[in-house]
Amino acid sequence: MADTPFAPVILGNEPGSFPHSVLAERHPAIISQVRDAFPYGPGQHRALDELLKSCTEGTVEPLPADAPDRDRWQEWDLADHTGRSWYDVPWLWSESWFYRRLLQAVGYFGPGAWQGVDPFRPFKRAELDAPETGEELAALDGLRDLPEEDRARALLHGSLWGNRADLGFRLSAAGAEAREPAPALVADDSETLWSLLPPGGAGTLVLVADNAGRELVPDLLLIAHLLTEGRAARVVLHVKPYPYYVSDATTADVVDALRRLRTAPGAAGEYGRALWSALGDGRLDVRAHPFSCAPLPYERMPGDLRADFAAATLTLLKGDLNYRRLVGDRLWPPTTPFARVTEHFPGPVGALRTLKSDVITGLSARTEDALVAAEGQRWRTDGTHALIQVSPAGRGASAATSRR
Ligand SMILES: O=P(O)(O)OC[C@@]1(O)O[C@H](CO)[C@@H](O)[C@@H]1O
């Protein structure tokens, strides 16, 4: 990134800042929610107590010698951060570390009876079963008679705004759901997006999912539309290999959402059944790559994942965390071009995100000025603004074109 301005990596050590509040308040709140949701035994309670102490006033500790992912975390900078306060290492890193340690505390990685029991499952299930989800699905019937472009646009916006449904975010942004979203996007490259996914195109879309439940459902509906209308011949859906950031989608969550969709009445049920058969014949594929839970920016992705993204016509990343990982978790000047900070990406890439952390790029000076004049800096984190950003040419794009 030759002439990209210097931008500091975000740490969590500034009291009063959003990252600090996540470490000092959100993580302890998550521990107590998880503790209340399961009949854990004394060993798990002890481990949760230790985690609470470590994450609020302790330092990063090594993983046990028999941890199955020890080598991976060594590659992911664990040795560099061991012994340092959680607040003094990159915020992106300490957040991922928190979820890794929480799963360890409740026995998720086993061995033992609690192996594989998702500590966030009750919260995710409650969302999927909520009456609002049924209402959103029923509303799909109203789209039936619209021209294809209008349905595509409505489903794209459904997927975008679905990103407000983030359970971790709601823990610390009280009233976030109740606040009205701002309808105008702070950046909107949707024309470029649609030019990469034209009707009758034979391309592959990679969609990197974010939250389960009320975000994953509209993501799946968008995918169903793209496949059934021939805007994508194939879709690869990337999810998390283990529970993460409370509501992030895993394969089990995809299955839950598909079962919910398949049995819904009307258009939603049709979409659900179309997705079910697309999985059966390989037009839709689900992947859960270990790097999806890595505490690192995508710039450091491993070769096999890079190859997956390079082979896609377009990779769309959902949500705030994926955005931070895509552009780098740094305090960029907001007018830094999105295309420049995503140059490292191996192919065309886009972001669908509601703004829930300080990181932002690709704004016009006019948009930034208007946001600051109206709201100070609150627009960055309160989840009421959204963007669609697309860069049609990552570094590997020319090489990948021949494969598309
Ligand atoms: O990725 P998502 O679900 O859109 O948002 C994740 C999030 O809630 O978690 C981080 C703070 O913990 C922020 O980046 C963001 O607010």
Does the CB atom of residue 210 touch ligand 1 within 6 A?
yes
Measured in Å, residue 25 CA sits from the centre of ligand 1 at 14
Q: Which residue's CA is minimally distant from atom 16 of ligand 1?
A: 356
Model-level ipTM above the cut of 0.95: yes
Q: What is the mean pLDDT of residues 248-261?
A: 97
Could you identify the atom of ligand 1 that is nearest to the CA of residue 166?
A: 3
Q: What angle do CA 248, 209, 259 make, to 5 degrees?
A: 80
- Predicted TM-score of the model (pTM): 0.94
Residue 35: band (very low, low, confident or very high) from pLDDT cuts 50, 70, 90: very high
Most confident of 43-47, 63-67, 392-396: 43-47
Residue 393: band (very low, low, confident or very high) from pLDDT cuts 50, 70, 90: confident
pLDDT tens sequence across 108-119 = 999 999 999 999
Strand order in the sheet with 187-188: 187-188, 386-391, 349-354, 314-318, 204-208, 234-238, 284-287
| Distance from the first to the final alpha carbon of the chain | 26
Q: What is the pLDDT of residue 184?
A: 85
Measured in Å, residue 382 CA sits from the centre of ligand 1 at 11
Q: What is the pLDDT of residue 404?
A: 33
Q: What is the pLDDT of residue 173?
A: 52
Q: What is the mean pLDDT of residues 268-287?
A: 98
Domains of the chain: 18-117 (1.20.930), 122-401 (3.40.50.10880)
Q: What is the mean pLDDT of residues 213-230?
A: 96
Measured in Å, residue 55 CA sits from the centre of ligand 1 at 18
Please state, in angstroms and rounded to a whole number, the distance separating the CA atoms of residues 1 and 341: 7
Residue 2: band (very low, low, confident or very high) from pLDDT cuts 50, 70, 90: very low
CA 180 to chain centre: 22
Q: What is the mean pLDDT of residues 171-192?
A: 75
Does the CB atom of residue 332 touch ligand 1 within 6 A?
no
Q: Which residue's CA is minimally distant from atom 15 of ligand 1?
A: 356
Residue 402: band (very low, low, confident or very high) from pLDDT cuts 50, 70, 90: very low
Measured in Å, residue 321 CA sits from the centre of ligand 1 at 5
Is the predicted pLDDT of residue 305 greater than 50, yes or no? yes
Is the predicted pLDDT of residue 157 greater than 70, yes or no? yes
Could you identify the atom of ligand 1 that is nearest to the CA of residue 383?
A: 16
Q: Are 95 and 295 in contact (CB under 8 A)?
A: yes
Q: What is the pLDDT of residue 400?
A: 37
Residue 5: band (very low, low, confident or very high) from pLDDT cuts 50, 70, 90: low
Could you identify the atom of ligand 1 that is nearest to the CA of residue 323?
A: 1
Is the predicted pLDDT of residue 6 greater than 90, yes or no? no
Is the predicted pLDDT of residue 150 greater than 70, yes or no? yes
Measured in Å, residue 8 CA sits from the centre of ligand 1 at 19
DSSP letter for each residue of 337-385: -HHHHTTTSSS-EEEEEE--SS------HHHHHHHHHHHTTGGGTSS--
AA identity, residue 109: F
Does the CB atom of residue 324 touch ligand 1 within 6 A?
yes
Q: 170 or 358, which is more confident? A: 358
Evaluated on CA atoms 377, 382, 385, 387, the torsion sign reads positive
Is the predicted pLDDT of residue 175 greater than 80, yes or no? no
AA identity, residue 234: R
pLDDT tens sequence across 319-359 = 999 999 999 999 999 999 999 999 999 999 999 999 999 99
Q: Mean pLDDT over all residues of the chain?
A: 93
Does the CB atom of residue 357 touch ligand 1 within 6 A?
yes
Please state, in angstroms and rounded to a whole number, the distance separating the CA atoms of residues 34 and 26: 12
DSSP 8-state code for residue 175: T
Q: Which of 320, 323, 359 to mutate to test the pocket of ligand 1 (most atoms within 8 A of CB)?
A: 320
What are residue 352's DSSP bridge partners? 318, 388
Q: What is the pLDDT of residue 38?
A: 98
Does the CB atom of residue 292 touch ligand 1 within 6 A?
no
Count Cβ atoms below 10 Å from residue 18 Cβ, excluding itself. Answer: 20
